[in-house]
């Protein structure tokens, strides 16, 4: 689909060319001693997006890359959306990792877009700006028709072509239902009100950590970056996961629901088999917490095969894991999320247990039409100027 990620990516009209995009070209396995396997170039090329705006995240993205390359026989181009926090050392590690597997990596500096976001809505951002980077995908990769987006706390333990080949059936996206909200029984009613305010349905709410995207359809439907900014302005005080909530609202009734094995995050379930699935450690990231889940073992397995861990001794690895374990905060001292600290969350948690459905609807309409209406219109004028 589309042109190869090996070419320097061009932005849409009015935007600068990404001349610093770098690609690790494919090498013959006989001349590349570190090469593990050579993908079949006669097969369809798969395009995967990873994005981050945190200087500690290149290593985590590198592990995701290795997990893809280790399990996929198709040629893959991994497009890395980064900003000016990416160091030369990490840049070279991305290139070495791709070269080792005779695959491609396309390093794309999106600082230009980041700065535009900061200028437009910087005053409204209560979340890491890196969460907005996926909204640039349709514009930055305007030569591609289809991509897979992955978060950096993922391990791909399957041939990712199985996700790539899914028929979107005239939908813009495909994703897995996020059932974590059903597990929080005491907050279920609160979430119903919260989602009503945003305009999305709880039973169709997907986890945005793994997405199959039809970019041609997305471009025809909306300007994703602009609509992301509008969402942040209007719902910044209501949203819990700003990027995920935005995607669910913007593409409501335009998402194909796919099998849970493509985004398996119920890692505490003993019956989960790690084979042939994409493991998403969003709640217990192996690089921040040792929880004894299957994701821990797989993460460190692929880490040792990446350019970040290939030279680690057993002592080095033991020290890293022990340092992570020692840094785990006590449960009583864990910091509350921005959402759980908000007045909205505290008020609605109490109200949801006492109020009737009709009264909750009234609360929702009041908050939606009175409290935020004037703020939204004022901010929208700034965004358009």
Tokens describing residue 181: 């909200």
In a domain, 338, yes or no: no
Task: Report whether pLDDT(338) > 90.
Answer: no
126 vs 165: which has the higher pLDDT: 165
pLDDT in tens, 8-19: 333 333 343 343
In a domain, 169, yes or no: yes
In a domain, 210, yes or no: yes
Q: Is 370 exposed, middle or buried (0-12, 13-18, 19+ CB in 10 A)?
A: exposed
pLDDT given for residue 353 in this prediction: 52
Residue 102's nearest CA partner among 184, 40, 20 is: 40
What SS3 class is residue 53? coil
Task: Report whether pLDDT(158) > 70.
Answer: yes
In a domain, 99, yes or no: yes
Residue 157's nearest CA partner among 224, 67, 241 is: 67
Residue 184's contacts (CB-CB under 8 Å, 6 or more residues apart) are: 191
- The answer to whether 308 and 295 are in contact (CB under 8 A) is no
In a domain, 105, yes or no: yes
- The answer to whether 164 and 46 are in contact (CB under 8 A) is yes
- The answer to whether 130 and 242 are in contact (CB under 8 A) is no
pLDDT given for residue 10 in this prediction: 33
In a domain, 8, yes or no: no
In a domain, 340, yes or no: no
Residue 49: enclosing H or E segment and its boundaries?
strand 46-51
CATH number at residue 72: 3.90.550.10
Which range marks the domain in which residue 261 is found? 22-333
pLDDT in tens, 27-72: 333 223 344 567 777 789 999 999 999 999 999 999 999 999 999 9
In a domain, 16, yes or no: no
pLDDT in tens, 173-204: 999 998 665 555 445 555 666 777 777 777 78
Residue 77's contacts (CB-CB under 8 Å, 6 or more residues apart) are: 4, 5, 6, 23, 45, 46, 47, 48, 103, 104, 105, 106
Q: Report the domain count for the chain.
A: 1
Tokens describing residue 303: 């880490």
């Amino acid at each position: 689909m589309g042109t190869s990620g090996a070419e320097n990516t061009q932005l849409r009209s009015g935007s600068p060319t990404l001349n610093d995009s770098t690609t690790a070209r494919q090498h013959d396995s006989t001349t590349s001693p570190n090469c593990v396997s050579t993908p079949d170039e006669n097969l369809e090329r798969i395009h995967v997006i990873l994005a981050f705006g945190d200087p500690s995240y290149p290593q985590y993205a590198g592990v995701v890359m290795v997990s893809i390359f280790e399990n996929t026989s198709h040629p893959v181009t991994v497009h890395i959306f980064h900003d000016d926090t990416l160091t030369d050392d990490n840049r070279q590690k991305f290139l070495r990792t791709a070269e080792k597997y005779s695959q491609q990596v396309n390093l794309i500096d999106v600082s230009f877009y980041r700065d535009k976001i900061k200028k437009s809505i910087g005053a409204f951002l209560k979340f890491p700006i890196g969460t907005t980077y996926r909204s640039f995908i349709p514009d930055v990769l305007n030569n591609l028709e289809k991509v897979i987006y992955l978060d950096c706390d993922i391990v791909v333990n399957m041939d990712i072509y199985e996700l790539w080949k899914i028929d979107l059936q005239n939908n813009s996206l495909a994703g897995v239902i996020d059932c974590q909200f059903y597990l929080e029984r005491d907050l279920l009613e609160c979430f119903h009100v919260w989602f009503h305010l945003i305009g999305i349905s709880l039973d169709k709410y997907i986890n945005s950590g793994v997405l199959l995207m039809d970019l041609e359809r997305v471009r025809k439907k909306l300007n994703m970056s602009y609509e992301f900014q509008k969402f942040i302005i209007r719902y910044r005080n209501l949203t819990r996961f700003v990027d995920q909530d935005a995607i669910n609202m913007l593409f409501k009734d335009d998402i194909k629901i796919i099998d849970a094995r493509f985004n398996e995050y119920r890692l505490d379930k003993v019956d989960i088999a790690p084979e042939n699935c994409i493991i998403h450690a969003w709640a217990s990231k192996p690089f921040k917490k040792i929880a004894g889940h299957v994701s821990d073992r797989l993460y460190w397995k692929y880490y040792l095969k990446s350019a970040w861990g290939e030279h680690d001794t057993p002592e080095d690895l033991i020290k890293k894991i022990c340092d992570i374990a020692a840094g785990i905060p006590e449960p009583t001292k864990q910091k509350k999320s921005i959402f759980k600290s908000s007045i909205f969350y505290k008020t609605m948690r109490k109200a949801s247990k006492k109020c009737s459905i009709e009264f909750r609807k009234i609360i929702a309409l009041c908050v939606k039409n009175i409290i935020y209406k004037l703020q939204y219109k004022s901010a929208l004028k700034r965004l358009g100027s």
